[in-house]
Structure 1
Amino acid sequence: MISTGQLIGAGVTSRVIDRLSLAWERVSPGIYLTRPPIWESAAWAGLLRAGDGAAVGGLAACFLEGALRDAPRSVLIWAERAKSGFHLGPWSVEFRRGTRPSYRFPPRTRIHASLLDVASTSNELDTAATMTSALSRGVAEPGRLLDELGSRAHQRHRSMIETLCDPTSKGVHSLIEWVFLRDVVRAHRLPEPELQVTKSAGRVDQLYDRFDTIVDLDGIRDHSDWSKDMYRDNEHLLEHHTLTLRYGLNDVMGRPCAVSSQVLRRFRSRGWRGRPKGCRRC
């Protein structure tokens, strides 16, 4: 990715630029692609188009910081002046007018500001997915995220973000784990589990040791080899007499009350005499 401004600054004449550009793809006025595009090409094209003071923001900045596994299809660029968006390969480049403190290379907004910017334009589930990914990967720190949150008078999903940063939510590593904790456990006042516990047969998502119960929550893309999970479940049962209850995203999001009832039946069979409550969906 190169701009005419960069070429002229390097001493290349306009005539030579015209000749060279015949073999390049014109992305935007004065910006050329010299090889097949990759995701970073879209980010750099947006930065060059926006000019001085530009910064990658939103989900794109989160991806650059390692908070997300997959590159977003849309690249957000903060720009001092209004700019028209464009497409490069399968990616769209969008501009938001404004200035943001930036750092690193390519310039991007800092992770905690980026996360809150994402929350400002996302629904609750998408926000939870982004936040849990960043926190579980160690890219974002709960304390610093709360500091950034405190500097903003108006912030969408404030209560949920505060809950995710609470020590009781430490160990929530994914969207499905967050939804299970919120809609199955806490909404029905079930006992709270230990999160991300390492057992002899491997790590488990949620452990109820006093009820000899493990809850494992499966995202499809993370469990391509189900036989490993089956073997681990069998080991827990044979070695520790611990039963594994396994749920997917459709269960947790589509029928949380039925899931809570099933978990409750297990707890009752192991002697729990607590009093759960019905949620607004029950």
Structure 2
Amino acid sequence: MNTLKVVCFVLFFSAMYASAATMKVCIDHYPPLQILTGEPKGESIAVLEVLATLLGHDVEYIPGPNFARCLRMLELGQVDVLAGLVDDPARRTFAHFVPYQEDDSYIFVSRIDTADIVSFGDLEKHVVGITKHTKYFKELEFAQDISKVIIKDIATGLKMLLLKRIDVIVTSAPILQSIQNELGNIDDKIKVNPYSYNTSRQLCFGFSKNSKLIFTADEMFKIKQAAQQQVFSKAIEQFIIANPELYSHVDSSLIMTNKAKQNNFD
């Protein structure tokens, strides 16, 4: 009987350790960052796999309906990490942030038959689609003279754009290109406008302060060091090379060149 108790005790704590060694991540379908058709893949998945290897964890991907839900799960500690977050004072109340990649510039997409948007002021003439809880830039977020409509995601926004329910979508070039591939031939119906906005900011890993995993100071230093050595950027470059079909609307080598120029962790 005593032997049985010892075995049960060991199995119980082994199970606890195995559970603790699994890093839970929420991902929503957001190509080319996160793609949920089949085995999860994407730029964010590539860096999360590197992160897990660096920290010695397995990864459990938990599908979420949208970014807002994933962010809420991080806040509640239902998942341990999110990738692709923008650091923000409000988010620091529930997460620690470590930057790993320069963010892309914002582009402004409209129907092909509308007048060009050449400046920020031109947005006042349009209904602009934005996704919930996305950190854009202060001028847009606090603008009182711009009509803004919450859209579920960029794919839904493009459909609303074609139905003339909104006039403009704010996104990035890689995301637009991947979603164009999913939606089919809409190139002759939409256009990217001359005006764009360079955020000059970094994307981060967000580690939940309510996580059951304990991320030590040494581990955080190791992640920062890997980012400085462009380990995560190289993982993204390798993903782009291996998946050119996701970037078929643009030369994938151009994307990698732009990302390489943007990255600076000195």
Do they fold alike, i.e. is TM over 0.5? no
Using structure 2 for the length normalisation, give the TM-score: 0.29
Task: Please tell me whether Structure 1 or Structure 2 has the larger radius of gyration of its CA atoms.
Answer: 1
Question: More relative contact order in 1 or in 2 (CA 8 Å, sep 6+)?
Answer: 2
